[in-house]
Chains A and B, each alone.
Chain A
């Protein structure tokens, strides 16, 4: 399962739209990594990823945007993400 590539994986329940210039994204990524939460990282500086994020979020330009089991969360706190994925990746 790729954490930092742009390769889709059916096994990945978390999609993480992010950018290298986003402080909130850096912090959340550190939290996800330190809690062994796997995710598919999509850089919104890539146009196709940005479009995909906008489709998922209903047009909201906010990152980090996470899609967890089909639900969209924008700038969610790390513990909430952990709670949402808990049990699925352990």
Chain B
């Protein structure tokens, strides 16, 4: 619905369409609360580009990330959730409503859920930006198939680095994982990586540069943290998984309070410092970065949103 100023109106606007927002929208739309989701990347978020999800309850044999995302989307749309592609630029409370400016026009909503998730961090070393797509990548399921029988370096020591290394063994049997200090991945994954014939693990290496030749990546330069020795690792592809950063750039100038790492602070009702604006999933301060948790928080946020709307209408 649009008013005379071309402002689109909705009861609830959700920023993001990952598992948390999709789950929340199932709850709101089943209660006949008009809900619009605005997604700037891929519907399903990072879950959609995860090869296989083994720890989401209800799927005994695991489920492909894309399949889970697809099912979540279909379930949300079945109840009437409307998913728009666009990027949210700002959020501001104007009177009783919340003004959300997007690349696809402006919305006025009675309540907002921020569920923008997180994205992979960059290494911030010379060569990384220059060779992005020419050997440097941040998504194995998206780009790994381009490196069939090629030499691959994986940078990182968390669950993503371990899981994506294992995925890359489908294409290459020459994978080296550079872990800066110590593994932060789960023991199950670490054991699988370390016992895999196609993977070599090098501990204690901090990448300092990515060097290219002929317009593509040729090697990775790293320094050993204990010995200070520098070494060059030949590489056709470099896959970087060095942690997650919250997608909160669009609210940095708003009144929504963030923690020291840029995650959104919420109270016990998952409400932010702006009344009527809630947050759930990976973008929330204290999030556990698990799909199951994000979905659970989405359901909780939806119930709190409903309560907020009921109280608001009752007070009128």
Contact = CB atoms under 8 A, between A and B. Distances in A.
Q: Answer yes or no: are A and B bound together in one complex.
A: yes
Interface stretch (B138-146, B219-227, B256-264): B138-146
B8 interface: no
Interface in B123-167: 132-135, 137, 141-143, 145-146
Interface residues of B, number: 27
Interface in A36-67: 44-45, 50, 57-63
A5 interface: no
Given A23-B141, A58-B215, A61-B146, A31 B134 contact: no
A57 B133 contact: yes
A25 B76 CA distance: 21
A23 B215 contact: no
B66 A61 contact: no
Given A24-B49, A57-B133, A77-B40, A62 B69 contact: no
B42 interface: yes
B142 to A, nearest CB: 6
A44 B85 CA distance: 25
B145 A78 contact: no
Interface string A1-43: 0000000000000000001011110110001000000000000
Contacts of A58: 215
A61 B143 contact: yes
Given A62-B143, A74-B133, A79-B103, 7 more contacts: A23-B142, A24-B142, A44-B146, A58-B215, A59-B134, A59-B215, A77-B103
Given A60-B133, A61-B134, A78-B85, A23 B145 contact: no
B86 interface: yes
Contacts of A78: 85
B43 A27 contact: yes
A63 B133 CA distance: 9
Contacts of A59: 133-134, 215-216
Nearest to B44: A23
Nearest to A78: B85
9 A-B pairs with least C-beta separation: A60-B133, A61-B146, A62-B133, A23-B48, A23-B49, A78-B85, A59-B215, A23-B66, A59-B134
